[in-house]
């Protein structure tokens, strides 16, 4: 399960989407949520984005702070490629408590039959 929220600069919700990833690891789910969020922002025509994620391993792998595990290497590479289409972006870690809405969306992902 993965969840994505897109908000505007005032914090108002623009999009929310849940994904049922079947049986996958937390690492793959978090990296996939990053990938799907970037895709959704790109398709929404956004030009400047700030990405907040609560999985420090995924954020650090993206920012080249640690080596990327092979399981998510292609997902991270795809994210980096998609981000070249934005005028600007930031990606940063937030604690799960600050990311409750996305966590809630992810938790209802099991209700999604197909995405």
What values do phi and psi take at 6, rounded to 5? Answer: -125, 125
State the CB neighbour count (10 A cutoff) for residue 86.
14
What does the pLDDT profile of the chain (115 residues) look like in tens digits? Answer: 777 889 898 989 898 888 787 788 889 989 999 999 999 999 999 999 999 998 999 999 999 998 888 999 999 999 999 999 999 999 999 876 656 655 655 555 455 555 4
Cβ within 8 Å of residue 45, ≥6 positions away = none
Neighbouring C-beta atoms of residue 71, cutoff 10 Å: 12
Tell me the pTM. Answer: 0.81
* Angstrom distance (rounded) from CA 86 to CA 76: 16
Give domain limits for the chain: 2-111
In CATH terms, 2-111 corresponds, of 3.30.420.10, 3.20.20.150, 3.20.20.140, 1.10.760.10, to: 3.30.420.10
Three-class DSSP category at 85: coil
């Amino acid at each position: 399960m993965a969840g994505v929220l897109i908000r505007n600069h005032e914090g108002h919700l623009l999009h929310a989407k849940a994904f049922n990833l079947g049986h996958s690891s937390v690492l793959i789910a978090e990296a996939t949520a990053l990938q799907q969020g970037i895709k959704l922002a790109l398709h929404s025509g956004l030009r400047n984005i700030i990405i907040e994620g609560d999985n420090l391993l995924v954020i650090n792998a993206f920012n080249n702070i640690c080596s990327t595990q092979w399981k998510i290497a292609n997902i991270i590479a795809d994210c980096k490629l998609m981000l070249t289409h934005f005028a600007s972006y930031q990606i940063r870690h937030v604690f799960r408590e600050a990311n409750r809405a996305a966590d809630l969306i992810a938790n209802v992902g099991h209700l999604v039959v197909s995405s």
